[in-house]
Amino acid sequence: MQPSPASDRRTSVVDPTVPPPGRRSASGTELREPQVVGPQVVGPQVGGPPDEASARVAGHRPESRHGESAAYGGRVLAVVDGPDTADYTDAADYVAHTVTLRGVVRQRLVTRALVGHLPPAPARLLDIGGGNGVQALEFARRGYDVTVCEPDPGMLAEARRGLADAPESVRRRVELVQGDGRDAARLVGAGWDATFCHGVIMFVPEPAPLLNVLVELTRPGGIISVVGKNGPALALRAGLQGRWRDTAALLGEPGAAVPAAPAGTAGAAGPGRQPAVQLPPGDDPANVAAILTAAGSRSLAWYGIRTFTDHLGDLPPGPDVDAVVDAEWAAGARDPYRGIARLIHHVHRRTA
């Protein structure tokens, strides 16, 4: 089913209920165990929010450490890098994160990169796991027609709240669809001018099915945009925060307790870089790029996100936020800085 023209669309809201606010986590920290609890929706489930520790795994229900299916408890856990720590644990925490300096830097860097690669507006953009709609609103303001495919009703409710405050000319350009990204062909059709998947792949045990769908849904010549964790550089935040045991563990030092991670292809964003510990497949930028290429796309560019600010936790943006974003942009577009950034932004073009 193809989406209807933007002028005929109305914002769909599946569930106006927002989960109760969860606890705010310690600044700049993450969970030790890579488990995520996701919301249940009808049909298969995948998607995710726009950040490296997204507030849920886009509907995917991962296996627990003992191989049993993780039950939905109404909360979600963030990703891994150190003991007893979490960036955010539910939709409310994630929404709070988006207005911190780290959240603002991430969103603005992604936008700045994409405006150099997207076709001119109006064009049709699909945001898989678009969360509370921050990117969707930004590009709708720029004249694009954006569909968000998101499984979490709480996140969709947050997106609806954001849309309610936007001008009608922006609201009519955004469509919210509840569902699994892997089922997006049935839900929203194919032939999109660009597909986004930001901050989702680190939460799926195997990223290939979702990445393959992104390429499949994009028209030939269209753009695929994926943001994931930079696994080979995960020790940097812990070191800058003075969490030395975590740092040693993530660097694979003998005797350090290395956080458990599922098997994956070792690699890095840049040539010659090898991680000290085995990476989950979605945290390995080289693996992500290889999957996208094999699915029928070619790399146009890759960018680092948050080289200088990732360790700052919940620090709010200050009056110098524009200068911070400019510095992060310059670092994220060149070596050696982009290779040690917290996140990697892949921009590909579908070739066939």
What local confidence, expressed as pLDDT, does residue 255 receive? 57
Domain assignment present for residue 133? The answer is yes
Domain assignment present for residue 76? The answer is no
Check the CA dihedral 157-35-73-62 and report its sign: positive
- What gap in Å lies between CA 11 and CA 178, rounded to an integer? 11
310: left (phi over 0), alpha (psi -120 to 50) or beta: alpha
Domain assignment present for residue 286? The answer is yes
Domain assignment present for residue 278? The answer is yes
Domain assignment present for residue 9? The answer is no
Domain assignment present for residue 29? The answer is no
Q: Tell me the pLDDT of the chain (352 aa) as tens digits.
A: 333 333 333 333 332 222 223 323 333 333 222 222 222 222 222 333 333 333 333 333 333 222 222 222 222 223 334 433 445 567 787 788 899 999 999 999 999 999 999 999 999 999 999 999 999 999 999 999 999 999 899 999 999 999 999 999 999 999 999 999 999 999 999 999 999 999 999 888 899 999 999 999 999 999 999 999 999 999 999 999 999 998 998 888 765 554 443 333 333 344 344 445 577 899 999 999 999 999 999 999 999 999 999 999 999 999 999 999 999 999 999 999 999 999 999 999 999 7
Task: Find the domain containing 248 and state its range.
Answer: 101-350
Q: Do β-strands 297-305 and 343-350 pair in parallel, antiparallel, or remain unpaired? A: antiparallel
CATH number of the domain bearing residue 283: 3.40.50.150
**What's the pTM value of the predicted model, to 2 decimals?**
0.73
Domain assignment present for residue 7? The answer is no
Q: How many domains does the chain have?
A: 1
Count CB neighbours of 31 within 10 A: 22
CB 284 within 8 A of CB 80: no
CA 111 to chain centre: 13
Check the CA dihedral 217-36-306-254 and report its sign: negative
